[in-house]
Structure 1
Amino acid sequence: MTEVGHLVLALDFSGLGDINLETVIAGIALVGTAIAWLVDRYFLRRKRLVYRVQVDAPIGVYPSSHMVDVEVRHQDEVVEDPSVVLLRVDNAGGMDIEPHHVHEKVSFAFPDRKIVGLEVTEATPEALGRILQRRLDTENFVDTGKLIVPRIAINRGDSFKFLLVLSGRGEGVTHSGYLAGGSAGGGVYHEPRPRGPGRRTLMFGAVASVLVGALVALFLVDVFQPPDNCASGQLRIVGSTAVEPTIKELRSAYAAECTQADITIATTGSRSGVRSLDETGKKDAASAESVIAMSDGPAENAPDLRGRPIAVVVFAVVVNRSAEIDALTTHQLRAIYAGRLTNWKQLGGRDLPIRMISRVGPDSGSRRTFREKVLAGDQELGITSDDCRTKDDPAARQHRCEVGTTEELLSRVDDIEGAIGYAELGGSRKYPGLTAAEIDGVVPQAARVADTTYRFWEVEYAYTYGAPEPDSLAAAFLEYAGSAQARAVLVRDGLVPCAELPGSLCG
């Protein structure tokens, strides 16, 4: 059984004076209610599909006289006892749903009725709707009483609607299917009354917030743990763009309590950051004391630098959903990046050109990791597109462009049909138009790093020029980055803290 976490509140009731027992009991009840919501919302991560029957009604056909003949036809055939159903489906859980999570096909049945017509409407994102419609168009649900949902990736917050025309005098909608659960199970659930997205969660959260506020007013409970070691001064963090969002979060959390710390972040790539730190140290060692370089993987040819492993960065091959591909092998990836495969239909996907979007040059740690861990050391092909959408030379065999940062790469893959790239897994989850593909049948996730079945990852190092002075801001921030307080930020952003891995993995 996986341990999902513990939340402990220590209440010291000494010195409360005249507060009576009823007040204490009420306070404990408030804490219990708040904890129940927090655990359900943040710790017990579920895969959860929720559906709502927004419309289920017969189509009224009432001729007003013998002079008017009114009927519902579909493909030149009269629809007997027609009705319309509108189903809304939401990923209302705390986790993304990947195709392999669907252990038993999710389906909707319409007792004593048959499907006449079917359309996907109001999908968020729109690309999800197009994929669903194309998948449904390849199936034949007409004259059946069951709609089977295609096995596709449905990310957190995704939603779509099925609009169906049915024939028959039955009524009602039933469902079946099973999702592989998260830390607390998962499944498909019916919400009887249409509600705004997340309304129940918001209402429960609001009530819990009020209760917590009341409790704090009563007992002044402080459960936040500030950094153990605050230092003042200036610090500049350079290097990897893959972990830039995480470093910014750590900076904000540290500086919120250690207000005398001035920390700036300027990431340009792993090798660029390491090289800049090394050159600065050789010219002015004193200035280098206020610089930390983050690197995806170990620094090369820099004997004066001292590296500290912080976490493992899980990388993913990301594919625009329009390609209708969610699993690749290393053999296929090498064929794509060698220019031997140029269209997704060659891999069973749509008839779309494969548009490779890569990181610029040798300074990128994610590019180096992709080349070493996936391409087996092979170099990527030359650039053939400046805007990533169209080839500069129409006769060029491959379609490939380069961008400067992880964020730009993810944004382009998310937006361009047929695009493929590679990036840090945690950041990719923020883009609804792309899928993190399985590689050799293994899903990119932290758990697969620990058991060594997933290989596209790298250790994130924090480098200093020599050992930092014990009372310096650099030393204090590095200590905080490896602390229990910072661990929650790393995990939330998809990184695996080295403290939670076997020592051999982090080096």
Structure 2
Amino acid sequence: MFDFSGFASVNLETVIAAIALIGTAVAWLVDRYVLRRKRLVYRVQVDARIGVYPRADQTQRMVDVEVRHQGAVVPDPSIVLLRLDNAGGMDIDPHDMHGKVAFAFPDRKIVGLKVTEAYPQSLGEMLERRLAPANFVDTSKLVLPRIAINRGDHFKFLLVLSGTGTGVSHSGYLAGGSTGGGVYHEPRPRGPGRRTLLFGALSLVLVGALVAFFLVDVLRPPDDCSSGQLRVIGSTAVEPTMRELRTAYAAECTNADIVIAANGSRSGVRALADLGAQDAAQAAQQIAMSDGPAEGAPQLVGTPVAVVVFAVTVNRAADVTALTTTQLRDIYSGKFTNWKQLGGRDLPIRMVSRVGPDSGSRRVFREKVLAGDQELGISSDNCARDDDAVARYHRCEVGTTEELLTRVNEIDGAIGYAELGSARRFAQVSIVTIDQVASDTARVADRSYRFWEVEHAYTYKAPEPKSLTAAFLDYIGSAKARPVLERGGLVPCSDLTTGFCG
């Protein structure tokens, strides 16, 4: 007989230690990436006196160093270089800044301010315009304007101050953060030391190994992988999400050949219906994604998958972050043609729209935002210039969501509409609030945000139970695919109240 008591004891202790370590790591990962808190991080990269201090001999009488501002000598001058980053998992909207986010410099007054670095550049230009001298000169506090700061954006302030004080403190509250109101001080501007990096790397390796041993990958498809060929067509709004789902599924089910070929919601539904009438076997290997329910195709079977959240997008150069439905209707009817009419910069409003009635996002925009009104005619083929020299408005059309967002991202004063998850990937695109409500999945759940639609997956008749079409359709609607849907700005129907998805 063998004595396994010692082995059992060691094994139990190892498991307990592993669970504790994994729990700590998972808690941090959940807080950072799953809860996706809003985090505005600031670092004081420089805080130093300005001056030349020669030795107390004859050279002192030969040196005359002083700092002047507007012709007057600045007593006890110093400089501060302050960097701010959106280091969280979500965009920061203007209405998230409660109580004014501000930075104080005790016993010192601000006499000069410059934005020295910003990503994207248009963000720095906006800050320069908003921070007029009357807002900060001869004060001891820098108040951050209420502006949109997208994920990954950062900027620096170089301040010249007068006074003998030292140090920087912050105040204000940022909605959507955790302890500290979402505004955090990062005291080490030069990054972690070698020991911290080494310890962190070893910890990540250990945690990764333990997680791989004890946990199941959340995106792992079912064990009964189906093989064959499948073509997913339809909505371009959810194309990036469908590609990510395809990659996750095919990584394990290597015999699954899935092609994503988005061509517009109505085009996809119509193509599937036409193919079914000609070749039912080929149609059985296709899924058509549609922004909203399909019409006039009784032979197709639709499955509600998720709510796709749409957003109105504006190029950052316009300096506009909030619009009302009335203002949007006036823009798309041609009443407003310049952003200065809406409190923005002196730039022409250039509408970038989707082509024709086959676009699901165009239909949703017309129904949910324009109250059924049609958009104006085309005045430009390339959006940046007008083909009609006497056009009183500026409007073009493009074929896909990616094209629309690319044009809005590149053209000063451009405006468009697109799926929220895709819009977040473009640095020069600002997602505006509509009637003071942000484009956010939480605002869809409480029905305060109206620009959304239910995404349907259509097949030609009911798919065969063991087919790749059925397996992938089940995977799209499963809890395993939820993280991918959420990253794309979609709300799974299973997360919403009964009747929400129809």
Superposed displacement of residue 300, structure 1: 1.8
How far 1:195 sits from its partner (Å)? 3.3
Query: Counterparts in 2 of 1:22-421, with a 5 A limit?
Result: 22-61=13-52, 64=59, 69-137=64-132, 139-182=134-177, 186-196=181-191, 206-215=201-210, 220-224=213-217, 226-228=220-222, 229-421=224-416
SS in 1 for 2:226: coil
Unaligned runs of 5+ residues in structure 1 are 1-12
How far off is 1:137 after superposition? 2.3
Note if contact 1:45-1:183 (Cα within 8 Å) is conserved in structure 2.
no
Q: Taking structure 1 as reference, are residues 197 and 366 closer, same or farther at Cα in structure 2, changes over 3 Å only?
A: farther
**Shift in Å, 1:432:** 2.3
- Structure 2 spans left out of the alignment, 5+ residues: none
2:429 is matched with 434
Matched letter for residue 241 of structure 2: T
What displacement does 1:56 show?
1.1
Matched, 1:495 2:483: no
Deviations 1:3-25 (A, max 9, x none): xxxxxxxxxx9997684554344
Q: Corresponding residue for 1:4?
A: none
Cα deviation per residue 1:251-293 (whole Å; 9 max; x = unaligned)? 1121122222111111111111111111111111111111111
Counterpart of 2:22, as a letter, is V
Distance 1:496 1:446 in 2: 6
Taking the aligned partners of 1:202 and 1:468, their CA distance within structure 2 comes to 51
Within 1, Cα distance between the matches of 2:441 and 2:98?
A: 21
Amino acid at match of 1:193: R
Deviations 1:419-478 (A, max 9, x none): 110000111111222221111121111122122211111111111111112222111111
Per-residue deviation, residues 200-234 of structure 1 (Å, max 9, x unmatched): 998786344222245368xx324226333421111
Secondary structure of 2:328's counterpart equals helix
Deviation string, structure 1 residues 285-312 (Cα, Å, up to 9, x no partner): 1111111110111112212111111111
User: Offset at 1:349?
Assistant: 1.1
On the 8 A contact 2:307/2:453 being kept in 1, the answer is yes
Verify the 8 A CA contact 1:61 1:71 in the aligned structure 2. Answer: no
CA separation in 2, counterparts of 1:329 and 1:197? Answer: 45
Is the 8 Å Cα contact of residues 44 and 184 (structure 1) preserved in structure 2? no
Cα distance, 1:96–1:473 mapped onto 2, change above 3 Å: same
Aligned twin of 1:3:
none
Superposed CA offset, 1:12-62 (max 9, x none): x99976845543443333323322332232234322211111111111145
Cα separation, partners in 2 of 1:485 and 1:214, compared to 1, 3 Å = closer
In the alignment, the residues of structure 1 paired with residue 380 and residue 226 of structure 2 have an alpha-carbon distance, to the nearest angstrom, of 48
CA contact (8 A) 2:39 2:177 kept: no
Paired residue type of 2:38: K
Q: How has the CA–CA distance of structure 1 residues 197 and 243 changed in structure 2, closer, same or farther, with 3 Å as cutoff?
A: farther
| Structure 1 residue 119, shift from structure 2 partner | 0.6
Give the match's secondary structure for 2:442: helix
Structure 1 counterpart of 2:309, which letter? Answer: V
Task: Give the Cα–Cα distance (whole angstroms) in 1 for the partners of residues 179 and 464 of structure 2.
Answer: 45
The secondary structure found in structure 1 opposite 2:430 is: strand
C-alpha distance in 2 between matches for 1:380 and 1:199: 58
Query: Which amino acid counterpart does residue 428 of structure 2 have in structure 1?
Result: G
| Larger mean Cα displacement after TM superposition, 18-27 or 153-162 | 18-27
1:240/1:201 CA distance change after superposition, 3 Å: farther
Shift of 1:192: 1.8
Aligned match for 1:483, one of 478, 482, 489: 478
Partner of 2:447: 452
Deviates more, 1:163-172 or 1:204-213: 204-213
- Count, aligned residues: 493
Sequence identity (%): 73
Q: Could you give the per-residue CA deviations for residues 159-217 of structure 1, whole angstroms, max 9, x where no partner exists?
A: 11100111122222121111112477732222222134999998786344222245368
**Residue type of the alignment partner of 1:54:** Q
Cα 1:249/1:473, change in 2 over 3 Å = same
Q: Structure 1: how far apart are the matches of 2:211 and 2:419?
A: 39
Deviation at 1:132, TM superposition (A): 0.8
Secondary structure of 2:309's aligned partner: strand
Q: Counterparts of 2:382 and 2:34 in 1: how far apart (Å)?
A: 42
CA shift in 2, pair 1:184/1:293, >3 Å: farther
Equivalent position SS for 1:211 = helix
Q: CA deviation at 1:480?
A: 1.1
- Supply the distance in 2 between the matched residues of 1:429 and 1:232 (Cα, whole angstroms): 34
Distance in 2, Cα, partners of 1:199 & 1:447: 41
Q: Rate the CA distance shift 1:314–1:216 in 2: closer, same or farther, 3 A.
A: closer
Question: Which is worse superposed, 45-54 or 262-271?
Answer: 45-54
The DSSP-based 3-state class of the residue aligned with 2:305 is strand
Q: CA RMSD in A?
A: 2.6
Are the aligned partners of 1:238 and 1:292 in contact in 2 as well (CA < 8 Å)?
yes
* Distance change >3 Å, CA 44–CA 287, structure 1 → 2: closer
- Return the TM-score normalized by structure 1: 0.91
Tell me if the contact between 1:230 and 1:476 (Cα under 8 Å) persists in the aligned partners.
yes
Asked if 1 retains the 8 angstrom alpha-carbon contact of 2:107 and 2:140, the reply is yes
- Per-residue CA deviations over 1:326-383 (Å, capped at 9, x if unaligned) read 1111110011011110011111111111111111222111011111111111111122
Q: Tell me the SS of whatever aligns to 1:152.
A: coil
Tell me how far apart the structure 2 counterparts of residues 449 and 30 of structure 1 sit (CA, whole Å).
36
Contact 1:359–1:409, Cα closer than 8 Å, also in 2: yes
* 2:18 partner amino acid: G
Deviates more, 1:103-112 or 1:223-232: 223-232
Which stretch has the larger CA shift, 325-334 or 23-32? 23-32
Do the aligned partners of 1:108 and 1:176 also contact (CA within 8 Å) in 2? yes
Query: Could you say which residue in structure 2 is the equivalent of 1:8?
Result: none
CA separation of 1:69/1:136 partners in 2, compared to 1, >3 Å: closer, same or farther?
same
